[in-house]
Structure 1
Amino acid sequence: MRATLRFIDAFTEATGRVLAWCIPIMMLVTAAVVVMRYGFGYGLTAMQESVSYLHGSVFMLGAAYALKHGAHVRVDIFYQRFSPRQRAWIDSLGTLIFLLPLCGLILLSSWDFSAKAWEIREASVEPGGIPAVFLLKSLIPLMAVNLALQGLAELLRNALVLIEGDGAEVNRAD
Structure 2
Amino acid sequence: MGLLHRVSTIIDGLNGRILSLASWLCLFMVLVQFFVVVMRYVFGTGSIQFQEIILYMHGILFMVAAGGTLLTNDHVRVDIIYNSLSPRKKAVIEFLGCILFLFPVCGLVLYTSWNYVGQSWRIMEGSREPGGLQGIYLLKSFIPIFAILLGLQGLSQAIKAWFTLTNSPKNESAQAWK
In the superposition, the TM-score normalised over structure 1's length comes to: 0.92
Cα deviation 1:53-99 (Å, max 9, x = unaligned): 11001111111111111111111333222221111111100111111
Return 84-93 or 8-17, whichever deviates more: 84-93
Q: Which amino acid aligns with 2:126?
A: A
Q: How many residues align?
A: 173
The CA distance in 2 between the partners of 1:62 and 1:24, in whole Å, is 14
Return 125-134 or 54-63, whichever deviates more: 125-134
The CA distance in 1 between the partners of 2:160 and 2:173, in whole Å, is 6
Shift of 1:23: 1.2
In the superposition, the TM-score normalised over structure 2's length comes to: 0.90
Q: Which amino acid aligns with 1:28?
A: L
Cα deviation 1:24-67 (Å, max 9, x = unaligned): 11111111111112211222221111000110011111111111
Q: Partner residue of 1:70? A: 73
The CA distance in 2 between the partners of 1:159 and 1:172, in whole Å, is 10
Q: Which amino acid aligns with 1:12?
A: N
Gaps of 5+ in 1: none
1:157/1:170 contact within 8 Å kept: no
Q: Partner residue of 2:8? A: 5
The CA distance in 2 between the partners of 1:29 and 1:119, in whole Å, is 30
Q: Partner residue of 2:53? A: 50
Q: Partner residue of 2:91? A: 88
Residues 1:132 and 2:132 aligned together: no
Q: Alignment partner of 1:77: what SS? A: helix
Cα deviation 1:115-160 (Å, max 9, x = unaligned): 1001111111222211110011111111111100000000011111
Cα gap change, 1:77/1:165 in structure 2, threshold over 3 Å: closer, same or farther?
Answer: farther
Gaps of 5+ in 2: none
Q: Alignment partner of 2:93: what SS? A: helix
Return 124-133 or 90-99, whichever deviates more: 124-133
Percent identity over paired residues: 40
RMSD (Å) for aligned C-alpha atoms = 1.8
2:163/2:170 contact within 8 Å kept: no
Off by >6 Å, runs of 4+ in structure 1: none
1:161/1:170 contact within 8 Å kept: no
Superposed counterparts of 1:1-174, under 5 Å: 1-164=4-167, 168-171=171-174
